[in-house]
Chain A
Amino acid sequence: MSPHALIDCDVHSNIPPAELARRLPARWRRVVEDFGLRAVKSNAYVPTRPRAAASRTDTWPPGGGAPGSDMPFVREQLLDRWGVDVAILNPIDALDYAAQVPALSEHLFRALNDWTREAWLDADPRFRSTMTVPFEYGSMAVREIERLASDDRFVSVMLVVAPREPLGHRRYWDVYEAAAGLDLPVVVHVGGIGNSTVTGAGWYSFYFEDHMAGAHAMATQLMSLVCQGVFDRFPTLKVVLEEGGLAWAPPLMWALDSAWSQLRHEVPHLDRRPSEIVREHFWFTTQPIDEPDDPAHMVTVLEHLGMHDRIMFATDYPHWDFDAPDHALPRGLPEDVRRAIFAGNAADLFGLTR
């Protein structure tokens, strides 16, 4: 039984440029100042978002800075306002850092984790964070995971939905080995650095399409992780899919099971139905919650998914598509399931028992 009533699994902090700069070695500070961070992903895509920083207009701190940069303001606007017992940070800058050259990437992530520890974890006991790591470079990522391993306020290891290769690729297996070895879940968050578009069919025109495709990219990563044998090699690995929704998962599991029954000799490492592997290894966060006209259909989806103990509440503060705790979940969910989604499932997975 969780001592908490509300755990928010996806809160975005945002490191102020000066806080980053002062934590970088002089050489890399100068590179960042003079050249900026580079985008591996084509910068031809300009998200014509209706909101700056994809954020709610009321999340810009009164004292200046970007949404998510001012800890006391987040504490007041999110934690106190909604009675959040535990908020797990996904530092937003991590989405771009992995695109940098290896040495810079390593310094950026280390600086970000140090800032997270000093400005957030040490400041309020309600904060936890994911470890942000240079996941494109396995040995460096493992080094950062080991550096932070003794601090149990870092509760997971962060990957992105659009890395350089599909997440089943062997270049990420060192990260999985380290995470599984420490029993840290890996969280896959929307965003990233991929060279590829998220449609599977070339570049799109609108932010609308990019936002829609978060779910598609997430579904594809689930498929990659399952089909490429990651769980055969790391049978205790836990993966959380964040900000991709979840209503797509039951039909994808039916499709995978159907395909597997006909094509399984191509993937001999899949020794049981893909849906069984999914139910063993995956967790989902709720935001952006799927919203059928009839909320009963969402209850049906959750039953078809059959993972009531694997769904965890998230707001995605400070972004415009924030899910408020009093609105997000569909009507008609049994009370014990609601409680588990709001806190119990995350408490179990991340060991938030105190």
Chain B
Amino acid sequence: MSAPVPVVDCDVHCVPASIEALFPYLDEHWVGFIANGMLGMPAALGAMYPPGAATSATAEARAASGPPGTSLDAVREQVLDRHGVDVAVLSCITGFDAIRNTYYGGDLLRAVNDWQAAEWLDRDPRLRGSIVVPPLDPEAAVREIRRLEDDPRFVRVLLPVRADAPYGNRRYHAIYAAAAERGLAIALHAWGLSGAQPTPNGFSEHYIEDYVAHTIIAQGHLTSLVVEGVFQRFGDLRVSLLECGSTWLPAYLWRLDKDWKGIRREVPWVDRRPSELLREHLRVSVAPLHAPADLEQLDELMATLDWPELLMFASDHPHDHGDGAARFLARLSGEQRAAVMGGNAAAHYRLGAVVGGRGD
């Protein structure tokens, strides 16, 4: 008989079934606009998770009542109970952060936070929340973080990787200061501003390109966080990377350390190898995990990095990214698996003594 191992799911999606679901939490001014203007959930949402794309939802999630990601019962049955999850952290991706009218978008995001607390966090003690904020309006983001500071169930601030500027930029530092003050992590998540090109070279033509582009865009943000000195300035800040893949990490970190050797004179405050800084501050979700089909190659890949210290388990409910993560997790030893399934996230989000829910 072994001690119960905590299971933490670091990326479970929830989304309002319709914009009307937010009305109880939204100023009447906007409710009137939405009704009169026939405004709905933003087009950006459908562009991020097209209902017909296989990646947008598992067959099981599609079979649940309502659009995928809208049902707490489905989350309980398909995620929490099934995997013996002790804590699941919600990521509420709506596309509201892509709205250029930040007065409207910012208020919608605030409503989403209140909706998230009332409709999800209040209804299941295993759930934790992400504060959603408008990256286009850092002042409003800081206000929102402070407004929720008495609710410890919010464990991180969610920022979309498609942004107007890389996340090391000084415009965001006030957000990090507010997060660090409260012990919140920052989570960079796939998708975001549909008005910003999703690739380094312009707008792409296919969804499949946008879908894979997150594995590339994420790397620019990490570089930015390192070279702008964010980790020197906010020594306590922890960064999660969600739904952007992970198997690009070895090649990326090699290049980052190499460039630091060559060009660090430009950024003298970066006083350690960047890979060390990121190992200390960064944790990465396992969904999606793009692995080679060949088992021997998978083992070789696993030998190229200290993955068990960096990765956090995620179901990414209701999304379906194939079997890469499951194949990878199956190759871990018992101790490594325990770290990835819960230990890493428990420390990263400072969840305290997470009660083991699966022990016998």
Within the complex, which residue of B211, B227, B297 is in contact with A208, where a contact is CB–CB below 8 Å?
A: B227
Contact B216 A48 (CB under 8 A): no
* A164-185 near B? 1/0 per residue, CB < 8 Å: 1111110000000000000000
Contact A220 B216 (CB under 8 A): yes
B304 contacts A by Cβ under 8 Å? yes
Smallest Cβ-Cβ distance to B221: which chain A residue: A201
Contact B251 A290 (CB under 8 A): yes
* A211-252 near B? 1/0 per residue, CB < 8 Å: 111011101110110011000000000000000010110111
With A205-B228, A211-B259, A212-B256 given, is the CB distance from A166 to B201 under 8 Å? yes
Give the docked Cα–Cα distance between A292 and B55 (Å): 33
Smallest Cβ-Cβ distance to A219: which chain B residue: B216
With A227-B209, A292-B304 given, is the CB distance from A202 to B201 under 8 Å? no
CB of B253, distance to nearest CB on chain A (Å): 9
B223 contacts A by Cβ under 8 Å? yes
Contact A290 B292 (CB under 8 A): no
Contact A291 B213 (CB under 8 A): no
Give the docked Cα–Cα distance between A281 and B255 (Å): 25
Contact A251 B255 (CB under 8 A): no
* B202-227 near A? 1/0 per residue, CB < 8 Å: 11111111011101110111011001
Contact B254 A258 (CB under 8 A): no
Interface residues of B in 219-265 (CB under 8 A from A): 219-221, 223-224, 227-228, 245, 247-248, 250-252, 254-260, 262-265
Give the docked Cα–Cα distance between A192 and B20 (Å): 47
CB of A180, distance to nearest CB on chain B (Å): 21
With A209-B227, A259-B208, A321-B262 given, is the CB distance from A204 to B55 under 8 Å? no
* B152-194 near A? 1/0 per residue, CB < 8 Å: 0000000001111111110000000000000000000000000
B18 contacts A by Cβ under 8 Å? no
Give the docked Cα–Cα distance between A167 and B343 (Å): 44
CB of B284, distance to nearest CB on chain A (Å): 13
Contact A251 B290 (CB under 8 A): yes
Contact A48 B266 (CB under 8 A): yes
Within the complex, which residue of B205, B264, B293 is in contact with A227, where a contact is CB–CB below 8 Å?
A: B205
A139 contacts B by Cβ under 8 Å? no
Contact B200 A200 (CB under 8 A): yes
Contact B202 A259 (CB under 8 A): no
Give the docked Cα–Cα distance between A303 and B220 (Å): 26
Within the complex, which residue of A48, A219, A258, A301 is in contact with B321, where a contact is CB–CB below 8 Å?
A: A258
Interface residues of B in 278-300 (CB under 8 A from A): 288, 290-293, 297, 300
With A223-B213, A304-B300 given, is the CB distance from A254 to B290 under 8 Å? yes
CB of A225, distance to nearest CB on chain B (Å): 11
CB of B333, distance to nearest CB on chain A (Å): 20
Within the complex, which residue of B53, B166, B223 is in contact with A263, where a contact is CB–CB below 8 Å?
A: B53
Contact A228 B206 (CB under 8 A): yes
CB of A236, distance to nearest CB on chain B (Å): 23
Q: Provide the residues of chain A in CB contact with B205, threshold 8 Å.
A: 166, 168-169, 227-228
Contact B219 A216 (CB under 8 A): yes
Give the docked Cα–Cα distance between A95 and B342 (Å): 49
Within the complex, which residue of A206, A245, A259, A297 is in contact with B211, where a contact is CB–CB below 8 Å?
A: A259
Contact B200 A199 (CB under 8 A): yes
A198 contacts B by Cβ under 8 Å? yes
Give the docked Cα–Cα distance between A293 and B221 (Å): 23
Give the docked Cα–Cα distance between A224 and B208 (Å): 10
A324 contacts B by Cβ under 8 Å? no
Contact A208 B266 (CB under 8 A): yes
CB of B243, distance to nearest CB on chain A (Å): 12
A194 contacts B by Cβ under 8 Å? yes
- Chain B contact residues (Cβ within 8 angstroms of A): what range? 35 or more
CB of A325, distance to nearest CB on chain B (Å): 18
With A209-B166, A209-B220, A297-B304 given, is the CB distance from A216 to B297 under 8 Å? no
Interface residues of A in 286-320 (CB under 8 A from B): 288, 290-293, 297, 300-301, 303-304, 320
A163 contacts B by Cβ under 8 Å? yes
Contact A267 B206 (CB under 8 A): yes
Within the complex, which residue of A48, A217, A300, A304 is in contact with B201, where a contact is CB–CB below 8 Å?
A: A217
CB of B195, distance to nearest CB on chain A (Å): 11
Q: Provide the residues of chain A in CB contact with B247, threshold 8 Å.
A: 251, 254-255
Give the docked Cα–Cα distance between A321 and B262 (Å): 8
Most buried by B among A48, A167, A168, A219: A219
CB of B252, distance to nearest CB on chain A (Å): 7
Contact B208 A201 (CB under 8 A): no
Give the docked Cα–Cα distance between A6 and B258 (Å): 25
Contact A220 B200 (CB under 8 A): yes
Contact A50 B220 (CB under 8 A): no
B332 contacts A by Cβ under 8 Å? no
Smallest Cβ-Cβ distance to A256: which chain B residue: B212
Within the complex, which residue of A164, A217, A297 is in contact with B200, where a contact is CB–CB below 8 Å?
A: A217
B118 contacts A by Cβ under 8 Å? no
Contact A162 B259 (CB under 8 A): no
Contact A199 B224 (CB under 8 A): yes
CB of B316, distance to nearest CB on chain A (Å): 13
A260 contacts B by Cβ under 8 Å? yes
Contact A166 B202 (CB under 8 A): yes
* B41-54 near A? 1/0 per residue, CB < 8 Å: 00000000000011
Contact A50 B291 (CB under 8 A): no
B138 contacts A by Cβ under 8 Å? no
A203 contacts B by Cβ under 8 Å? yes
A196 contacts B by Cβ under 8 Å? yes
Contact A201 B216 (CB under 8 A): no
A161 contacts B by Cβ under 8 Å? yes
14 contacts between A and B (CB under 8 A): A166-B201, A201-B165, A202-B163, A202-B166, A206-B227, A208-B227, A209-B166, A212-B220, A220-B213, A223-B209, A223-B212, A251-B245, A255-B215, A261-B322
- Other A-B contacts than A196-B202, A205-B224, 16 sampled, CB-CB below 8 A, are A166-B203, A201-B217, A215-B251, A216-B216, A223-B209, A224-B201, A227-B208, A247-B254, A252-B212, A261-B322, A263-B55, A266-B53, A291-B258, A292-B254, A297-B303, A297-B304
